[in-house]
Structure 1
Amino acid sequence: MVPHKAVGSTEEQLRNYPIGLEVKCTIGGVPKDVNINKAAPRIDYISNVTWQAHHQEVNELFGITFDYIRTPSGYKPVISATFYSDELCVSDWGDISGTEGRNTKVCGMKASGKTKMGAGWFAILSDTPIYWQKYSYLFKIVAK
């Protein structure tokens, strides 16, 4: 997220824009052998949470997780937790993959980055304890 005045900036300029915040969202990783219906809750199956970036220079990140929650009109995506760190560095990101062909070039967050993000949690869905249990286990976080 950058100010409106950044419209028209190149990718390179945006990467190092002096004002703004990188925002990434994930539902988390589910093992390949788990069969889940589209738009069904995944919290019981999530085995890891990682954010991806298009470059390794992301040093400040607002990370969001989401899940599908039952509502009167069916399952809807809802933010399940938010995390923040301004202490990330290049070594908190893996190698850039998908560098050939039409693939999207991304790098995944390493364990060191996840530890920093977990230390910066500030909101976790509270209407059911499973979200706190899962995220505190995956990020090794303690209550503030």
Structure 2
Amino acid sequence: MKTGVTSNLPVGNSRISFLTGLDWKGHHQYINNLLALFWDYFEGIPTIMSAFYSNKLVPNDFSNTIPKAGGGRTTSVCVTKKTARDKLMNNWVLLPDLPDYIQFFKKLGINN
């Protein structure tokens, strides 16, 4: 079941002005190096718009690993907590010089 405002937007429409937050996912809690990508539709094309990196992550920066119900072939994931997001935001690698994106990431605490 689709949820959230962006699930109702047509494919190809930018989502940035509808977002209120974000998180990244990993395969397990023992990731200390993470390149986190943020993508959106740019001029109708899926495009990596921002990238963040941290080599200071610890297991407590992630939720417990969430296994897929019933098993299956989908990989289990854990979700970043605010502590991980803060570490990633302090080390941005790519950020477009576009007001909507700058405003969104500043709201989330990007350190520029």
- The answer to whether the aligner puts 1:32 opposite 2:4 as a matched pair is yes
Q: Aligned-pair distance for 1:99?
A: 4.7
Q: Label 1:123 to 1:33 Cα distance change in 2 as closer, same or farther (>3 A).
A: closer
Which structure: larger Rg?
1
The residue that corresponds to 1:27 in the other structure is none
Give % identity. Answer: 28
How many residues were matched structurally?
Answer: 107
CA distance in 2 between counterparts of 1:49 and 1:80 reads 14
Q: Aligned-pair distance for 1:66?
A: 0.9
**TM-score, length of structure 2 as denominator length:** 0.86
CA distance in 2 between counterparts of 1:83 and 1:115 reads 10
TM superposition outliers: structure 1 runs of 4+ over 6 Å: none
* Structure 2 unaligned residues grouped into runs of 5+: none
CA distance in 1 between counterparts of 2:111 and 2:57 reads 20
RMSD (Å) for aligned C-alpha atoms: 1.6
Residue by residue over 1:48-103, the C-alpha shift from the partner in whole angstroms, topping out at 9 and shown as x without a partner, is 11110111101011111111011xxxx10111111010000000000111254225
The residue that corresponds to 1:50 in the other structure is 23
The residue that corresponds to 1:132 in the other structure is 102
Query: One-letter code of the match for 1:137?
Result: K
**TM-score, length of structure 1 as denominator length:** 0.68
Where relative contact order (Cα < 8 A, 6+ residues apart) is larger, the structure is: 2
| SS state at 1:88 partner | coil
8 Å CA contact 2:15, 2:41 repeated in 1: yes
